[in-house]
Structure 1
Amino acid sequence: MSVEANDRVGLTDAYATRVRADLERVDAEIVEVQARLKELAVDRALLSKLWENIFGESGPMSPVTEPGPAKAPQSPLPEEASAPKNGSGAGERRRPGGRRRGPLVRDVVLELLHEATEPVSVRDVHVALQSSPISPPGKVVVRNTLESLVAKGVARRCRDGQSVRYSVEQPQEPQTDS
């Protein structure tokens, strides 16, 4: 065999090895992307359910067909962000047509915290909301609502080992020098 033929065989083997490695790498990336897509589909389903629990309607959940520039999210219910125009119905959500929808989850959760004699868990609040006048939200909505109240300084979070319990933040009395 000539030197030139040996060089071609060696070069062909090198290319074959490189192409095989690239194919294996691409196959592995495809498997990773497919797994990530499954995770995103689960996240999307949870977010859709959360949207439905909060707003009582299916939200802007059209399937994504191709990547494009990100658009700023639009408020689906602009009337909810503003105060009631006639001063009545405070703490109630209104549908776009102006019909009352009932109390907000936040208001009912806050009422439950005020009624509680000791700190309560997310599960306690979730169970109590099953018999409330609102459509029962999921545990994630309850936890997020409680955390929102903590962030606003309305509620307090306390840990008991690995458990987290919530209570109403008591207003602090001003210290007076005696």
Structure 2
Amino acid sequence: MDTAAPPQPSADPTVTQQAAQEPALALMRDLVRTYQAFYASDEEQIRQWGLTVPQFDVICTLGNTSGLMMGQIAEKTLVTKGTLTGIIDRLESKGLVRREVPPQNRRCFIVVLTPKGQQMFEEIFPAHVTYLRQRLSVLSSEEMQQIQAALQRLRGCFKSQSLFHPSD
């Protein structure tokens, strides 16, 4: 645990000007802009199926499973536990998922895709993978591996402060 006192603000304008030139700021801006561009493009494609990005994330996470508990869904998606219940409620009202109480543990429930949800998963998941493959086709396999390695290394810089996947 780091017990060092936080740095005190400086009254020297040169320090602030130097801080504004910090290369880490440019890196973070590019990272955020890249994420925003990806999210906007991804969201536009996903909305065509009548889903939000978090709903899509849950449908794809449940696909190819016999169902998952809420905690498992939260761990495997980018959805926080606090918003997951509302997402499941909306997917349930669309007839895409249902909650089931397992006979071996009646204190919890699992979320499973309905036949309609399974059919949607089988249609949208491969289509979305094709969409992503087309978008990333400008990158070589080697470039994708390099970017992935760099992102994993960057994530390690913030690992102790991860909100979604503390075990990553």
Same fold (TM over 0.5): no
Higher relative contact order (CA 8 A, sep 6+): 2
Q: TM-score range by the shorter chain?
A: 0.3 to 0.5
Structure whose alpha-carbon radius of gyration is higher: 1
More strand per residue? 1
